[in-house]
Amino acid sequence: MKIMIKIYTLLLAILTISHTVVGQQKVFVFAVKEEIGPVTNRYVTLALAEATKQNSDVLILELDTYGGALDAADQIRTKILDFPKPVYVYVNKNAASAGALISLACDSIYMSAGANIGSATVVNEKGEPLPDKYQSYMRALMRSTAQANHRNEQKAAQMVGVLTGADSTTISKVLAYSAKEAIANHFCEAELNSVEAVIKRVSSGEVAVHRYELSVAERIIAFFLNPYLRGVLILIMIAGIYYEMSAPGIGFALLASLTAAMLYFVPSYLNGLAENWEILLFIIGLVLLGLEVFVIPGFGVAGIAGIALILMSLVLVMINNNALDFTFVNTQSIYQALGIAMLSTIATGVLVFIGGEKVFQRIALKESFSAANGYNANFLASDMRGKIGVAHTVLRPSGKVEIEGEIYDAYSTGEYLETGSTIVVVDHLGTQLKVKKAG
């Protein structure tokens, strides 16, 4: 009898727990507290995917931003509008510009004391309003988003303002609301002091709250989008390519360059910055540069075009353009990308021509295995010094030479030798001959 009672009690407890868990409302909280851009767009995409996976009932976006890139904001607002579950926003101090557009896309808006929403004028990096075609597009976005959630369309458009003055460069009638003003104009449901207060207001009964954070892998991806780190990666890429082409077969330089390229392009591709054609430009540039070094004699169109395409690719990947359309790209972003690429290239030149030898001495074998100590790396049957031959391939400085009908690996004393040039052997090590132009 006691065993039956215990079993009954256990089953009752299990049923009670199950009922409680099933009856809980799942609340998903994620936060955007930085400038709106491709990184933010990816973060929101991942957050919404995770909320879908968890079958969340309610989503709460904690927002504090002064704005950012319009194209990224438009993509975020579209994702929120299309999301099947309610998405509420808690404006924790600022929802300016792009932040206002994102807020209007949410089903309900809640604001903290002292918070503001509005001032959605499209400006350049100096804070100056862009021409009216940009403002007109932004007003249309604000109107359509407000209409989707049954808010006042005209007042939403007024948050962008209008251009006035003889030269149409002065912005006026820009609308922005404090929390109490937003409530009075039906843009905000309530003034609350925390996300927890929002959760309490929008849910009933038991709740299970999940606060979303990026995974370690995603944090690493975001880390490699740092502009200063990108400059270092460009330096490693260019320096690695140079050293590998100067002395083919080193391996380390090529590996370092490929690793840097992966760390440069992959995070950008995942965040929507790098498009397929931009990566293809980089690959084509490498191919042209390789042809110039190893196939085409001299240094001309192919080499210059290859370098230009490589640098163009590296710059474009840093800019959130749409197939060379820079309409909504901040001018400051363009200047920053160009500056990083130029400084990295200059730094590479300094490393190669001034400090390159010292840097690579640290990873090179320093011990000398000389003939005086009994070491011999000569694999040739006879002494080739003084023999005359011709350059079988271009030597810049490595290549092949022909002597007495035999082909040998060779390298010049530093000069560029065309195919067919008459050469004389000055030394040899292993199976390689050191040669110079005869005469």
To the question of pTM greater than 0.85 for the whole model, the response is no
Neighbour count for residue 122 (Cβ, 10 Å): 23
295 and 179 both lie in a single domain: no
Q: How does pLDDT run across 127-164, given as a tens digit for each residue?
A: 778 888 888 889 999 999 999 999 999 999 999 988 77
Query: Is 171:162 a contact under the CB 8 Å cutoff?
Result: yes
Determine, yes or no, domain membership for 85. yes
Identify the pLDDT of residue 193.
93
Determine, yes or no, domain membership for 368. no
CATH at residue 43: 3.90.226.10
Q: How does pLDDT run across 162-203, given as a tens digit for each residue?
A: 877 655 566 777 899 999 999 999 999 999 999 999 999 988
What is the DSSP track for 374-403? Answer: T-----SSS--TT-EEEESS-BSSEEEEEE
347 and 399 both lie in a single domain: no
Which residue among 180, 213, 246 closes a domain?
Answer: 213
For residue 297, whether the previous peptide bond is cis, meaning omega lies within 30 degrees of 0, is no
- Domain of 124, in residue numbers: 2-213
Determine, yes or no, domain membership for 344. yes
Determine, yes or no, domain membership for 260. yes
Identify the pLDDT of residue 111.
96
238 and 269 both lie in a single domain: yes
Determine, yes or no, domain membership for 367. no
**How, if at all, do strands 388-391 and 190-191 pair?**
unpaired
Query: Is 260:212 a contact under the CB 8 Å cutoff?
Result: no
195 and 225 both lie in a single domain: no
Residue 310: pLDDT above 60?
yes
Which residue among 361, 394, 412 closes a domain?
Answer: 361
Determine, yes or no, domain membership for 366. no
Determine, yes or no, domain membership for 235. yes
* Domain total of the chain: 3
202 and 351 both lie in a single domain: no
The conformational region for residue 119 under phi > 0 = left, psi -120 to 50 = alpha, else beta, is: left
232 and 198 both lie in a single domain: no
294 and 433 both lie in a single domain: no
CATH at residue 426: 2.40.50.140
Over range 54-64, report the average pLDDT: 95
257 and 158 both lie in a single domain: no
Residue 226: pLDDT above 80?
no
Least confident segment among 27-31, 58-62, 71-75: 71-75
Over range 38-52, report the average pLDDT: 91
15 and 129 both lie in a single domain: yes
More confident residue, 20 or 179: 179
Query: Is 3:31 a contact under the CB 8 Å cutoff?
Result: no
Determine, yes or no, domain membership for 142. yes
253 and 332 both lie in a single domain: yes
Range among 228-237, 294-303, 359-368 with highest mean pLDDT value: 228-237
Averaged pLDDT of the chain = 81
355 and 417 both lie in a single domain: no
Which residue among 338, 361, 384 closes a domain?
Answer: 361
Within 166-211, where are the H helices?
A: 179-184, 195-202
Q: How does pLDDT run across 267-290, given as a tens digit for each residue?
A: 887 776 778 888 898 888 888 877
Using alpha carbons only, how large is the chain's radius of gyration in Å? Answer: 32
24 and 160 both lie in a single domain: yes
